[in-house]
Amino acid sequence: MGDASVATQIANKWRKKRGSLIMALHELQDVKGYVPWEDAMELAQAMNIPLARIYEVLTFYNFFKLDAPGKAVISVCTGTACYLKGNDKTLEEFKKQLGINEGESTPDKMFHLQCVRCVGCCGLAPVCVVNGKTYGRVGVGDVANILAEWRKKFEDESKE
Amino acid sequence: MVKLTIDNREVEVDAGTSILEAARKLQIEIPTLCNHPDVDPSAGCGMCIVRVNGRIMRSCCTPVAEGMEVISSDAELYEVRRMVLKLLLSNHPNSCLSCARSGQCELQEMANTFNIIDAPLPNLTKKYEIDDSTKSIVFDNSKCILCGRCVEVCQNQQNVWALSYLNRGLATRITPANGIKLEDSPCIKCGQCSAHCPTGAIVEYDDTEKVWAMLRNPDIYTIVQIAPAVRVAIGEEFGFEFGENLTGKTYATLRRMGFDKVFDTNFGADLTIIEEATEFVRRFTQAPESLPMFTSCCPAWVDLLEKYHSDMIPNFSTCKSPQAMVGALAKTYYADKMGIDPEKIRVISVMPCTAKKWEIVRSEDMKSSGFQDIDVSITTRELAKMIKQAGIDFRNIKEEEADNPLGEYTGAGTIFGTTGGVMTAALRTAYYYITGQELGNLDFKEIDGLEGIKETTVTINGSDVKIAVAHGIGNVEEILCRIREAKEKGEELPYHFIEVMACRGGCVAGGGQPRVIGSGYAKPWGITDKIRKQRAAGLLNEDLNAKNRMSHHNESVKTLYKEYLGEPGGDNAHHLLHTKYVARDKYKC
């Protein structure tokens, strides 16, 4: 039950503060990468908040993930600068090559695709970020290379 | 008080009143699909727009202000409202002909009123899987207009939190947490969501075909029983006044439909009182540590207790509900007496309630006769539909009596259908059991009416019996908190005997009762406190005028104990008339 206690610890930290559900859920997702059902249940119990309310919040904000995301999280910036510079097309290319929509993960759990609004380096627009690594001035033609790079990285890791 | 004008007519109302309510004082009915007096305004539908000092605003959630000038209707408002309706309909299936709510649907009525017959917008209705997992309530998201009444009722009035909003924007749906099935959620099947839904999105699980199949089978012996609250509401489906007591017509109608025997759940109510009063007297005089005691007739309350408050299970009366008692006896006592093979008997109960459909299969105790004690439970609404299908002229049918022996009842049995009624009936008999004398005054005004929590103290043989009555099941929380606190601190109990009914007003306003709407009726449509009071009055008047007003005077009940059960609270009675409770998880998955 090592996992379970994470939710309870977080709940104990936030339960006394009014309106802190969102903060608790943020923290839970930071630790786990997403918000599993069992943890949401435990949080509900420990914070004395109905589970139904917790899922109202979880499903209202698209920031929250309900399923384990893929290993490589691809964030395509659709902030004003990146969007105007053509990141909408790059996003479409990612969707096409991965066969998923934004907010989804590939069935093999290797990639997760999401949109973000500005990562703070508009000078490099259009920008994509994969697991913290920033790619500047990306175009449709770079998509295959980025995906290949991460596939290879995971392959090498699994060989070690 | 605040003074304002609506359509150039002056009106004075309390501060905080909404424009929509203020307009009703001037007989102006502003259209709305989401507003309902039982729930906080959600400003969900957008139909109730009015012009406030020139600006278009929603009247349901805009409070009145001094000197405000409101226009309730003009050409532009009319056009905007029509557009709102067209947009709602663009997201709603065109399946009125085969919808359970057809003819009694607020959306359908509104569409007719606003003359939506011309070029509708493209239909973008999404198909959703219909959730009938509870076999009590059926939820079809595709017919939902997101008015939010059901969520308000489920979360705030009932404090059950089965229903909630999922997702946002166009993807918004109303479901239990994370879109799971109702059966896996904390839903207690009270059906107040279905009583408040303006469309066909939430309806009862239809069991009428099962009943017809039994009636058509010549080898089957069909027994029907009607609950107390049914008799004062069924008439509304046939143009009678709210609360008119139509017991005799209902009996006659059921007989015409082909039921072999027509019994009355009120008999079961009297029997419940004998068992429950016996249980209470035993706890009060011999086992004070087992106090307080809660009534257990309401299946939604049983469900809530098992899921949310299992620490209180030892305090729950072990008595089955009246419908369950009649079911168990029909297939044992009655079958024996008449020499009928119980295997051939089918018991059908007509209830004001959707949770009763769940109760009949809730545990093995519901098979105490060796068979399933009750085979089908239908709501008042389903019975009304069946009467219409059978082509019976309910308005003009001549009144008849129920069959014996499970048809006799006292005034105490009939008031089971309203908040405070079970407690009143129990006190009359408990008083007699303790003192050997009859109560002088049979009515307890303090526990009558629609206050959420009602309290009184009755002195019996020099001891104070502290009573509480809760209805609208969210109210039970406060009572439980007081009890837990007193127990923790080792203080004197705040209450000894507590009646709980899940629906506001009690069974008269149950989730299976008629939802009377239509151009002939004043708005607001659906269940309101006014109707709750009228239906309750129908039962209370029957009690007031009854020859017999105490359950222990029911001759058929006395005979039953003499011939079959033995002592109240004895082994036989326990086997057939009592049940056990188990702690259960709120979520099954």
The structure tokens 């909003």 sit at: B165
Min CA distance, B299 vs chain A (Å)? 22
Higher pLDDT, A18 or B178: B178
Q: What per-residue confidence (pLDDT) applies to B572?
A: 94
Question: Residue A105's pLDDT is what?
Answer: 92
Q: Are B106 and B525 in contact (CB under 8 A)?
A: yes
Looking up tokens 């001549």 gives B398
- The per-residue pLDDT for A119 is 86
With b for 16 or more beta-carbon neighbours within 10 A and e for fewer, the A94-114 pattern comes to bbeebebebebbeeeeebbbb
Using CA atoms, how far residue B57 sits from B20, B99, B162, B589, in Å, is 11, 33, 32, 43
Q: What is the pLDDT of residues B446-473, one digit of tens each?
A: 999 999 999 999 999 999 999 999 999 9
Kindly report the nearest CA distance between residue A110 and chain B, in angstroms.
Answer: 24
| A60:B589 CB<8 A | no
Tell me the mean pLDDT in the region B493-518: 96
Using DSSP's 3-state secondary structure scheme, residue B543 falls into helix
| pLDDT tens-place string over residues B66-75 | 999 999 999 9
Which tokens belong to B568? 């109240």
How many angstroms separate the Cα of B583 from the Cα of each of B304, B307, B310, B355? 10, 6, 5, 18
Measured N-to-C along each axis, helices A2-14 and A21-32 cross at an angle, to the nearest 10 degrees, of 150
Dist. CA B471–CA B418, nearest whole Å: 10
Q: How far apart are CA B454 and CA B499, in angstroms?
A: 10
Does residue B211 carry a pLDDT above 90?
yes
Burial label for A156, CB within 10 Å (0-12, 13-18, 19+), is exposed
Residues B60 and B37: their CA atoms lie apart, in Å, by 10
> B250, B411 in Cβ contact below 8 A?
no
Nearest residue in chain B measured CA to CA from A67: B178
How many contacts does A have with B, using Cβ atoms within 8 A? 41
pTM of the shown model:
0.92
The catalytic residue positions of B are 276, 279, 297, 317, 356, 359, 364, 507
Instruction: Choose from A111-125, B520-534, B572-586 the range with maximum mean pLDDT.
Output: B572-586
CB contact A119 to B (< 8 Å)? no
Maximum distance among all Cα pairs of chain B, rounded to whole angstroms: 77
pLDDT digit string, tens, across residues B363-417 = 999 999 999 999 999 999 999 999 999 999 999 999 999 999 999 999 999 999 9
The identity of residue B441, as a single letter, is N
B151: nearest CA in chain A? Answer: A52
B540 HSE (CA, 13 A, CB side): 21
pLDDT tens column, B343-366: 999 999 999 999 999 999 999 999
Tell me the nearest-neighbour CA distance from B588 into chain A, angstroms. Answer: 11
Of A37, A41, A56, the CB nearest to B164: A56
What are A21-51's pLDDT values in tens digits? 999 999 999 999 899 999 999 999 999 999 9
CB atoms within 10 A of CB B582: 8
Give me the amino acid identity at A123.
G
Is the confidence at residue B144, as pLDDT, over 60? yes
Q: How confident is the model at residue A1, as a pLDDT?
A: 43
Strand partners, A134: A129
How much is the mean pLDDT over chain B?
Answer: 96
Query: Which residues in chain B are closer than 8 Å to A42, comparing Cβ atoms?
Result: none
Among B51, B23, B52, CA closest to B35? B23
Among the partner residues B178, B185, B586, nearest to A66 by beta-carbon distance: B178
Q: Chain A 24-43, CB below 8 Å of chain B: which residues?
A: 37, 40-41
CB B450 within 8 A of CB B419: yes
Regions of chain A short of the pLDDT cut 50: 1-2
Q: Which chain A residue lies closest to B168 (C-alpha atoms)?
A: A60
CB B182 within 8 A of CB B176: yes
At residue B26, the 3 state secondary structure works out as coil
Say if residues A44 and A98 touch (Cβ distance below 8 Å). Answer: no
Of B164, B167, B168, the CB nearest to A52: B164
Instruction: Write down the pLDDT at residue B522.
Output: 85
Position B119 scores a pLDDT of 66
SS3 B457: strand
Contact (CB<8Å) A66/B176: no
Residues whose CB is less than 8 angstroms from the CB of residue B255 and which lie 6 or more positions away in sequence, other chains included: B262, B400
Chain A 37-76, residues with CB within 8 Å of chain B CB atoms: 37, 40-41, 50-56, 58-60, 66
Name residue B49's amino acid. Answer: I
For residues B372 and B344, is the Cβ–Cβ distance under 8 A? no
A120-134, B113-127, B294-308: least confident range: B113-127
Beta carbons of A56 and B161 less than 8 Å apart: no
Residue type, B57: M
For residue range B260-285, list pLDDT tens digits in order: 999 999 999 999 999 999 999 999 99
Question: Residue A60, exposed/middle/buried by CB under 10 A (0-12, 13-18, 19+)?
Answer: middle
Q: B465, B497 in Cβ contact below 8 A?
A: yes
